[in-house]
Structure 1
Amino acid sequence: MFGQVRRTGRQVGRVDLDLMHRSAALSRSRADDALKTLSRSANKGRLWFALAALLAARKGPTRRAALRGVAAIGFASASANLVGKNLFPRRRPAAELLPEHRRLTKRPTSSSFPSGHSASAVAFTTAVAMESPGAAIALAPVAAAVAYSRMHTGVHWPTDIAAGAAIGVGAAYATRHWWPKTHEGPAHVTESVRLAALEEGDGLLVLVNPHSGTAGVDPTDEIKASWPRATVVYPEPGRDLVEQLSEELGTSPGDIKAIGVAGGDGTVAAVATVAAEFDLPLVLIPAGTLNHFARDVGVESTAESVEAAHTGTGVRIDLGYVDISGVEGSTHRWFVNTASLGGYPEMVRLRERLEGRNWPKWPAGAIALIRTLRRAQPIRLELNGKSHLVWMLFVGNGTYKPKGFGPTRRPALDSGLLDLRYLRADVPYSRSRFVLATLAGTLVTSHVYRQRDVRSVRVRLLDEHRRIATDGEVGPLAEEFEFSARPGALAIYRGV
């Protein structure tokens, strides 16, 4: 066995030496100085960090690509330079193998195997490809040139470069363990429906929240241009939106065919509640900062809503529903995204504030979670009659992904299920264990975290009354909550 290993090693050495001789035999050209400069520019990842800064300047896939690329470089550099070079010491190629004009002025003294430059180059480019294939195509020649420059300047054997490239690919894919690649596009909805066509806006009541989204941007003019006969109203200061719209509908029964909303998720949730109560279809106009619900539904712009409303095409989706009983009486609430008890609403608000400052979802969520857990108080409650001690409880309308930390998307909006998650407080060091499991990407197997997909769940608080939050809006003080999924509760105009 050892003899076979030695023979294989000698064969690899001969291949390395032959390729080095072939490279050395290349005629002198301007590429020699260019490759030397390129090789030095990639020292300590400086080239890739500069390119990441350029990619991050534009919001969207390229910014996510830059952040994933930097994370991949971190894994690749540690694997190649801290682990690989110490485990597999190897001499650098002799300087005499190459013409003097090709040699680097300052030759590295660390182990030749593997190539850290190649690992970083391939890690960054592969990670960028996961988020922005177009940007990766532009970067690929640069990465290949950096990798080859290490042989061209005589500081690495070809197999060092190949090993570094393999490490780079592995490091890029390792980022998915902590930062899963998200699905782009709308959630799946099976049931398409024909709705009333609203070509001029006859029978359309639209609520516009001018305080949602970008400051100073009011979508009213665009809405009136698209639906000149629509009725446009605004939130009345100090008044509940559901109450305001319900009264508006009560004054003109039968005249309203659909309700529209231009605002963020909180405004959308309130108007969707009214639409569900009055069994009216919803015209969704994304005008908030993040528009989570609009993205899940698949309505990305006013133009898409206008087209669907003109043709009368739409889909039916599920809504979450909760019956609430407590010191302030009995009531109920609908929710389009999430409902929660404990510190979860605070965490979501902090995460969205960080996302609004262009932080990616995963790091923003991690920071928000840690800050929230530091101030959290445990909640003693019953879930379907069974006692639990929890830090926070989350109920999602539909089944969210990923199943571990930071639920951010829904593959479907008509599953007929709720996504129940909670963090146990009856386990020693549960908060610390939760954070460590989150960072390690092992939360789904952790004893401190529980997740179930359910059709309904009853929650009764055992120690004190608390306020429920639905879609980020705080509700009444109560002690009993019965959550249920309501299949097909809301019709929304959307192209199909």
Structure 2
Amino acid sequence: MSAADRLVMRYSAALPHTPADSALTRLTRSADKGRLWWAIAAGLATRKGPTRRAALRGLIALAGASATANLVGKPLLPRRRPAAEVVPEVRRLHKRPTSSSFPSGHAASAAAFVTAAALESPRLGAVLAPLGAAVAYSRIHTGVHWPSDIGAGAALGVVVALATRHWWPLHTDARAHTAHPADAPALREGAHILTVVNPNSGNPADDPTAEIQALWPHTVIVHPEPGADLRAQITGELRRRPGNVKALGVAGGDGTAAAVASVAADTGLPLALIPAGTLNHFARDLGLRYLADTDAATRAGEAVGIDLGEVEIENDEGTARRWFVNTASLGGYPEMVRMRETIQRRHPKWPSAVIAMVRTLRSARPLRVRLNGEYLLVWLLFVGNGTYAPKGVIPSRRPALDTGLLDVRYLRADRPYSRVRFLLAVLTNTLETSHVYKQCDLPELDVAILDGNRRIATDGEVGPLGRRFRFRSRPSALSVYRPGRQLP
């Protein structure tokens, strides 16, 4: 330790006795093994959006910083802790740590969690920063660390937190871009809107029907009939109201929204999308967060044209067509989607996706296909409506909704140890240079199954069997109500 370390310790020890002594002692104990930060993360995770992402990123950074400090730093750089007599007896911990003093694990964990949280929510980071600083200083105040231990630990925590961006890019709440305004009638209080509400898309206790009726007293609300084809049900409702419906509304998850959007595209009606349901990536990409966003757009008659994905499915019974607003998939992807949603009921989305991916790849059967004329053996095939970001294995958002392209990704099964190499590339974030994982943006894709029929999944819903699938991007195929500017 340096002369500066001893000088700072003397100044700290000379501070007069105050109630802050007992407060800092309790604080430093609460941070043992990261318990304080785990408790804060549990509270933050109850709220969706940046707050929940901050909690998850914070815990990931905390785990990395703690492991690096305790399993690498302390064994490699042993240092004796300050003597107990350095500080007054009232401040001393009853159980003093016996591990190496350098670097401080408490400071590393605090800096990692606070920095990671600040990456997702700067306001939250500003709120947590004083607490993190207090935890770090408490180690000096109680006489168990030298100041340089704290500085090194804090620096380590910041570096680990910033490094999380390498594997998990920062999420942006900015809505996806589209340069195509669309004509749509201005409709007040839900007049001339046929609204499909699916209470089963999320928590039944959060049924949005009452809220929609209060804001749109003139809308006609339809609930999906159990076991019935939703598209056919909506089409029937339109036939019973010829000329009276000027827009279709929908409140539900991505599967429900896709079904209503397909009818809107076929009939030329604009879509009023209401954020609801457990998974609504479509609404998030459009920048629609609340019913008030949709209401503002319908009142003003503000709408945009966006692309839709289309797939023709050929089987022994003929040819069928399906629209998709988000994604379509073959091979292991449908199973991975179902497994991820099951795991996600108890765990965060990102870890759930990784767990589902590993389990799916372990039991998947290779798929023999002809992709735009090229013969391949693949484990799974993903087709996104538009170009997704990031380009890694877990596409999460679309920067634009009018690219006229499909995001095509597949994992090859004809290369040695392809699944192991794929997982290693995921862990090291080197998928873009991987020889087993391919990503490309195409306007069309022709997929022929060479070993029987396979089932397709569109927007998280498992669809029909087929032996040939023709995917296309349909530019500006759907008009969607969206405010002219992003609301605060």
- Normalization by structure 2: what TM-score? 0.92
From 82, 90, 93, the counterpart of 1:93: 82
From 65, 71, 82, the counterpart of 1:76: 65
Cα distance change of structure 1 residues 104 and 246 upon mapping to structure 2, 3 Å threshold: closer
Question: What is the one-letter code of the residue matched to 2:143?
Answer: G
CA distance in structure 2 between the partners assigned to 1:49 and 1:272 by the alignment? 41
From 349, 352, 371, the counterpart of 1:364: 352
Structure 2 spans left out of the alignment, 5+ residues: none
CA distance in structure 2 between the partners assigned to 1:52 and 1:233 by the alignment? 39
CA distance in structure 2 between the partners assigned to 1:454 and 1:147 by the alignment? 52
User: Number of residues paired by the alignment?
Assistant: 484
Cα distance change of structure 1 residues 161 and 385 upon mapping to structure 2, 3 Å threshold: same
Cα distance change of structure 1 residues 91 and 365 upon mapping to structure 2, 3 Å threshold: same
Structure 1 spans left out of the alignment, 5+ residues: 1-11
Query: Is 1:432 the equivalent of 2:412?
Result: no
Contact kept? 1:290, 1:356, Cα under 8 Å: no
Query: Is 1:480 the equivalent of 2:471?
Result: no
Query: Is 1:270 the equivalent of 2:271?
Result: no
Question: What is the one-letter code of the residue matched to 1:153?
Answer: T
SS in 1 for 2:303: strand
SS in 2 for 1:377: coil
SS in 2 for 1:146: helix
CA distance in structure 2 between the partners assigned to 1:252 and 1:446 by the alignment? 54
> Match of 2:291?
302
> Match of 2:197?
208
> Match of 1:196?
185
> Match of 2:392?
404
Cα distance change of structure 1 residues 200 and 113 upon mapping to structure 2, 3 Å threshold: closer
Cα distance change of structure 1 residues 88 and 252 upon mapping to structure 2, 3 Å threshold: same
From 333, 351, 354, the counterpart of 1:344: 333
From 378, 400, 409, the counterpart of 1:421: 409
> Match of 1:6?
none
Contact kept? 2:334, 2:456, Cα under 8 Å: no
Contact kept? 1:249, 1:256, Cα under 8 Å: yes
Contact kept? 2:120, 2:171, Cα under 8 Å: no
Contact kept? 1:64, 1:360, Cα under 8 Å: no
CA distance in structure 2 between the partners assigned to 1:47 and 1:225 by the alignment? 42
> Match of 1:125?
114
CA distance in structure 2 between the partners assigned to 1:59 and 1:220 by the alignment? 21
Query: Is 1:172 the equivalent of 2:158?
Result: no
Larger Rg: 1
Cα distance change of structure 1 residues 35 and 198 upon mapping to structure 2, 3 Å threshold: closer
Query: Is 1:323 the equivalent of 2:312?
Result: yes
Contact kept? 1:179, 1:362, Cα under 8 Å: no
Shift of 1:75: 0.9
Alignment identity in percent? 62
CA distance in structure 1 between the partners assigned to 2:423 and 2:322 by the alignment? 32
Shift of 1:183: 1.4
CA distance in structure 1 between the partners assigned to 2:338 and 2:420 by the alignment? 22
Q: Which moved more, 1:288-297 or 1:151-160?
A: 151-160
Shift of 1:246: 3.1
Shift of 1:244: 3.1
Question: What is the one-letter code of the residue matched to 2:475?
Answer: P
CA distance in structure 1 between the partners assigned to 2:365 and 2:12 by the alignment? 66
CA distance in structure 2 between the partners assigned to 1:224 and 1:139 by the alignment? 40
Cα distance change of structure 1 residues 455 and 25 upon mapping to structure 2, 3 Å threshold: same
Cα distance change of structure 1 residues 328 and 147 upon mapping to structure 2, 3 Å threshold: same
CA distance in structure 1 between the partners assigned to 2:48 and 2:354 by the alignment? 20
CA distance in structure 2 between the partners assigned to 1:395 and 1:245 by the alignment? 27
Shift of 1:145: 1.7
> Match of 2:371?
383
CA distance in structure 2 between the partners assigned to 1:221 and 1:54 by the alignment? 29
SS in 2 for 1:381: strand
Cα distance change of structure 1 residues 287 and 47 upon mapping to structure 2, 3 Å threshold: closer
Q: CA RMSD in A?
A: 2.3
From 311, 317, 330, the counterpart of 2:300: 311
CA distance in structure 2 between the partners assigned to 1:130 and 1:494 by the alignment? 28
CA distance in structure 1 between the partners assigned to 2:18 and 2:212 by the alignment? 62
Question: What is the one-letter code of the residue matched to 1:360?
Answer: P
Shift of 1:162: 0.6
CA distance in structure 2 between the partners assigned to 1:27 and 1:230 by the alignment? 69
